[in-house]
Structure 1
Amino acid sequence: MIDLRPVINLIARIGFVLGLMMALPAVIDYQARDPNWVRMVQSMLIVTVLSALIATASRSRAGSLTIEQSFLLTSGLWLVLPLIGALPLMLGAPKLSFTDAYFESMSGLTTTGTTAIPKLDDLPPGANMWRAILQWSGGLGIVVVAMVFLPVMKVGGMQFFRSEGFDTLGKVLPRAGQIAAEMTWLYLGITIACAVMFIASGMSFYDALLHALTTCSTGGFSNYDASFGGFIGPAEWVASLFMVLASIPFVRMIQATRGDFVPLWRDTQVRTYLRWIFYSVAVIVAYRMLYIHQTMHPWDTVRETTFNVITIFSGTGFASTNVLEWGHLPFVVLFCVGLIGGCTGSTGCSVKIFRYQVLFEAIRAQIRRMQSPHRLYSLRLSGKRLEHDVVYSVMAFFTMFVLTFGLLIVGLALTGLHPKTALTGAWTAIANIGPVWGPEVSYNGSIASFPTAAKWLMTLGMYLGRLELMSVFVLLLPRFWRG
């Protein structure tokens, strides 16, 4: 039998910390003289007291987690924490239903960015800040999970990075604290730098802090219905820079902060990511200038395109304009880059650059084998050999991703959504991107009018996509529970 006490204890402790974070939104609402601060304080007390009691009752002497416990911890965190995040949204403004509140909280913690709130402009400032805090917390959590747990669990080929900067040597907890600390300081530093640059670009302190939290988490929540549309100009370049930084491997940035920039420059994943961003921007800019009547200056076209391409590529989900007006080819390009995503070991989402590199290497090797059946080919990436279990894990991930994506499209269509809405809804959920396009989507991108079944399907899609699918599906095996 699996001992659940260490898992429950860790989840309760993390829940306690998340509960304490409600203090900032409460203070913001109090200073704004908005009565919503009372509900925020009530939520904080409920969460912290319950979490403390559960953590005390589940104390264990276990010094490390087994593989089974690691799977349960990662899957359980992203089921329980959205419950905590949903509480202030139900008790206080905007007084959402449980379905909408859980959807909003899951969207925040998975850094997806799709909203179920009909009108953001009318929310108390503390409520909007809470949504941003959820995304920032979820972004940090994903980085830690990607570097500590997924390599040990061999999910989606992540064992390739097991010795990439940190080696847990088969034990999950012994170095997890050190890894989390280094990641947290880097993440915090990037967020502060982003906020400072947003202020320099003309944002208010509140807007700068909120958007720094959602930019560096590649989450995309905004406190405005127009999303990033109110910050046209220098702020778009600032956001583009930090969205890219947040979606490249944090291990490489930690090495850079120690004075070693060579690994960052030589990382083929980073170079491929930047190159594909450039190609995507170039194609869309050329198409817009040649085939779409433009009233703006060419440099403004480049700025607008760069921002909106990066926000989809990184999975942030901000919007500064209606990209559907760009034409069919740009829409296809944006749809494709959304299914690629950022780099492994970052807050970026979707499939990730690394897995496409492995896929292309495997295809190239297979073609060579067809030409020379008796010749042996060694698959290599970034100077390291790709072991067979890495390739098999990546292929299994791609298979499950495509199947889950397809089933999600069908499921959303069966709820009565328009085919375009079902397609983009499944796309944004499974890849944790943010925007949804279709006739049922409101002017500010809200899916508040979606059927309840559709919201739960998208919630499931966000959950599966953020946890890399396989770490959840393994829990469905009876053999797993037998240890």
Structure 2
Amino acid sequence: MHAARIPTVEAQALSVLSLRPVAATLGILLSILGVAMLVPAVVDFAARSGGQGAFVGASAITIFVGVLLWMSGRGAGMAKLDLRQAFLLTSSVWLVLSVFAALPLMWGKSQLSFTAAMFESMSGLTTTGASVMSGLDAQAPGILLWRALLHWFGGIGIIAIAIAVLPVLSIGGMQLFRTESSDKSEKLLPRAGAIAKRLLFAYVLLTAVCAGAYLAAGLRAFDAVTIAMSTLSSGGFANSDQSLTVFANPAVDYVAVVFMLVAALPFPLYVRALAGDPRRLFTNPEVRLFLAIVAAFTALSFAQQTLQGVASGETAFRFALFTVASLISTTGFMAADYTNWGAFSDALFFILMFLGGCTGSTSGGLKALRIAITAKAIRQHLKRISFRTGVFPLRYGGAPVADDVVASVLGFVFLYILTFLLTGVALNMMGLDLRSAFSAAIACLANVGPGLGPMVGPASNYGGLPEPALWLLTAAMMLGRLEILTVLVLFLPRFWVR
């Protein structure tokens, strides 16, 4: 008798990645997206704008493909997702949903090309807010609502992956956020399922409160609802080419400031606050650092406007606070065209685009947690150079930070800056001036939206850029939203076998 062949470790390792759970999950999400397309169809039908046909057709195709994907993967339960499948699903969700979300933009009255429609839909779902569309004031209400819905869906999706997926994947120090969120389970979807209802409730509640505040400030119901969805998602799509300046209403500006900052804070803290523990909102070290940065940059911008005669008094304070809140939360709304305030403002706001909000929020950027860890790591290294026999443990929020977390954060920051530089150089080679190229690169990578200068600034849009530049920036939006490594790991050949 021959001895039974025992598989070696290497043979067991070479198992092909199963796509069935990924397909089933994508199918469910596509079906939800297809159903959501019927909402702007109803709005267009009620407004008699004639745009409902594009949404109905796109909805039918999206639901059909979604059902096929679900049927092909059903039986391979979502709870069976492993780390490789989580990587693949996290990246494919934004890509696949953006393709189908672009259909109404191509077939509707906006008549966007596939390139422009993909840019717009990716910008919506990643809550970037960069747009290629002009003439928004005359657009059908269905298209405006669809853009806001893409933001809103993308915002809750970002919170979900930030809390349930990225900490387990150890992306850029996000494993530290897993400790902060007080949920140490390694099971991806059970963790997500346990907190999904509470997160969704907090997200819906804050959106409703924001919409009510906009109504009280004087906006009509449609504008209040759509702009509230853009605000809580840190998106920035508005219903006018002039963003929020079209209202010329200080009350609207202050409402936007409050809820842009609200959206930039960790949503798990809101869940705890609703459960009777609001103390964390004020004692969390990341929140305190974030608010300190907002205060410092607001003071600098206010002083610069006052000294250079741009504005004074309450107007200068409001413009400064609004612009700082808009950029650091990566929302991208405009209360004034800050690109006309001089070189100092350009430098100030360029730095803000990198920073971003807090982990577990809808904001993009580097995040305050990573900034704090990076600063502490540099300080620790300087101390070790100066005092070679000393022991200097790195602590965050009173707790020690492991070396692997520090290495993960520093590696992410390096990769983030490298991606920004490569994108900016490539855009410059495509014909954009240096100011536009590098500001567009960080504006899309950090999911801010508007950049600097006349080509991509807040008073303009990305419609004048060549198609290769639009595709590059579309990729940058996805890379920035998914924390870069989540996407890049898919290009490793060893990823596709265990």
The TM-score range, normalised by the shorter chain, is over 0.9
1:419 is matched with which residue: 416, 430, 434? 434
Which residue of structure 1 aligns with residue 411 of structure 2? 396
Q: Which secondary structure state, in structure 1, belongs to the residue aligned with residue 189 of structure 2?
A: coil
- Does residue 335 (structure 1) correspond to residue 350 (structure 2)? The answer is yes
Give the C-alpha shift of residue 293 in structure 1. Answer: 4.6
**CA contact under 8 A between 2:454 and 2:460: conserved in structure 1?**
no
- The answer (yes or no) to whether the contact 2:211–2:227 under 8 Å persists in 1 is yes
Contact kept? 1:64, 1:172, Cα under 8 Å? no
Q: Which residue of 2 aligns with 1:173?
A: 189
- Selected match of 2:208 from 176, 188, 192: 192
Secondary structure of the 2:330 match is: coil
CA distance in 1, matches of 2:459, 2:116: 16
Partner of 1:50: 65
Aligned-partner Cα distance in 1 for 2:329–2:193: 27
1:211-250 mapped onto 2 (5 Å cutoff)? 211-231=227-247, 232-250=249-267
Corresponding residue SS for 2:179: coil
Q: Residue 283 of structure 1 aligns with which residue?
A: 300
**What's the offset of the Cα at 1:371?**
1.9
Which of 448, 454, 468 is the aligned partner of 2:483? 468
Query: How do 1:306-385 and structure 2 match up within 5 A?
Result: 306-385=321-400
- Conservation of the 8 A alpha-carbon contact between 2:330 and 2:353: yes
CA 1:48 to 1:146, structure 2 compared with 1: closer, same or farther past 3 Å?
same
**Bigger Cα displacement from structure 2, 166-175 vs 458-467:** 166-175
* 8 Å contact kept, 1:168–1:174: no
Identity %: 39
How far apart in 2 are the matches of 1:98 and 1:130?
A: 17
Q: 1:452 to 1:408 in 2, by over 3 A?
A: same
Could you tell me how far apart the structure 2 residues matched to 1:203 and 1:331 are? 31
Bigger shift: residues 382-391 or 437-446: 437-446
The separation in 2 between residues aligned to 1:60 and 1:339, in whole angstroms, is 43
CA contact (8 A) 2:26 2:69 kept: no
- Unaligned stretches of 5+ residues in structure 1: none
Q: Does the CA contact (< 8 Å) of 2:123 and 2:474 recur in 1?
A: yes
Q: How far is the alpha carbon of 1:394 from its aligned partner?
A: 0.4
Distance in 2 (alpha carbons) for counterparts of 1:54 and 1:475:
21
Give the C-alpha shift of residue 333 in structure 1.
1.0
Rounded to whole Å, the distance in 2 between the matches of 1:377 and 1:435 is: 41
**1:140–1:187 Cα contact (<8 Å) kept:** yes
Query: 1:432 aligns to what?
Result: 447
Deviation at 1:378, TM superposition (A): 1.3
Contact 1:227 1:319 in 2 (8 A): yes
CA distance in 1, matches of 2:414, 2:439: 20
| Cα distance in structure 1, aligned partners of 2:258 and 2:172 | 28
TM-score, with normalisation over the residues of structure 2? 0.94
2:182 counterpart of 1:127: no
The answer as to whether partners of 1:436 and 1:445 remain within 8 angstroms in 2 is no
CA 1:170–1:260: 2 relative to 1, 3 Å: same
1:64–1:171 CA contact under 8 A, matched in 2? no
CA shift, 1:440, in A, is: 3.4
- Give the Cα separation in 1 of the matches to 2:323 and 2:30: 34
- Equivalences for residues 118-157 of structure 1 within 5 A: 118-157=134-173
The 3 A distance-change label for structure 1 pair 442 and 308 is closer
Q: Determine if contact 1:344/1:354 at 8 Å carries over to the other structure.
A: yes
CA contact (8 A) 1:194 1:238 kept: yes
Q: Aligned Cα RMSD in Å? A: 1.3
Q: Aligned residue for 2:75? A: 60
In structure 1, distance between residues paired with 2:465 and 2:229:
27
Q: Name the CA distance, whole Å, in 2 between partners of 1:405 and 1:8.
A: 32
Question: Which consecutive residues of structure 2, in runs of 5 or more, have no partner in the other structure?
Answer: 1-15
1:108 aligns with 2:115: no
Partner of 1:208: 224
Question: What amino acid does structure 2 have at the position aligned with 1:190?
Answer: L
Deviations 1:8-30 (A, max 9, x none): 11111111111111122111111
- Higher mean alpha-carbon deviation, 226-235 vs 104-113, is at 226-235
Tell me by how many angstroms 1:442 deviates. 8.2
Q: Which residue of 1 aligns with 2:5?
A: none
What is the CA-CA distance between 1:441 and the residue it aligns to?
4.2
Question: In 1, distance between residues paired with 2:310 and 2:49?
Answer: 46
- The list of structure 1 runs, each at least 4 consecutive aligned residues, that deviate by more than 6 angstroms after superposition, is none
Q: Which deviations, in whole Å up to 9, do the C-alpha atoms of 1:265-306 show, x marking residues without a partner?
A: 111100111111011011110111112253xx5112211221
Q: Does 1:17 align with 2:32?
A: yes
Asked whether the 8 Å contact 2:297–2:348 carries over to 1, the reply is yes
Deviation at 1:443, TM superposition (A): 8.1
Instruction: Write the distance in 1 (CA, Å) between the matches of 2:184 and 2:136.
Output: 43
> Paired residue for 2:288, among 262, 268, 271?
271
Q: Distance in 2 between the 1:201 and 1:211 partners?
A: 13
* Alignment of 1:69 onto 2:85: yes
The count of corresponding residues between Structure 1 and Structure 2 is 481
Distance change (3 Å), C-alpha of 1:293 and 1:408: closer
Distance 2:184 2:147 in 1: 33
Q: Which has the larger radius of gyration?
A: 2
- AA paired with 1:66? D
Distance in 2, Cα, partners of 1:29 & 1:165: 41
- Counterpart amino acid of residue 187 in structure 1: Y
Map of 1:161 onto structure 2: 177
- Residues 362 and 379 of structure 1 are in contact (CA less than 8 Å); yes or no, is this contact kept in structure 2? yes
How far apart in 1 are the matches of 2:108 and 2:323? 33
Structure-1 separation of matches of 2:456 and 2:87: 35
What secondary structure does 1:174 align onto? helix
Question: Which whole-Å CA distance do the structure 2 matches of 1:293 and 1:461 have between them?
Answer: 33
How far apart in 1 are the matches of 2:496 and 2:309? 57
- In structure 1, what is the Cα distance between the partners aligned to 2:457 and 2:181? 44
Aligned amino acid, residue 346 of structure 2: F
Q: Which moved more, 1:22-31 or 1:352-361?
A: 22-31
Question: Structure 1 pair 172/334, CA: closer, same or farther in 2 (3 Å)?
Answer: same
In structure 2, C-alpha distance between the alignment counterparts of 1:259 and 1:222, rounded to whole Å: 34
Contact 1:292 1:327 in 2 (8 A): no
More off after superposition, 119-128 vs 96-105:
119-128
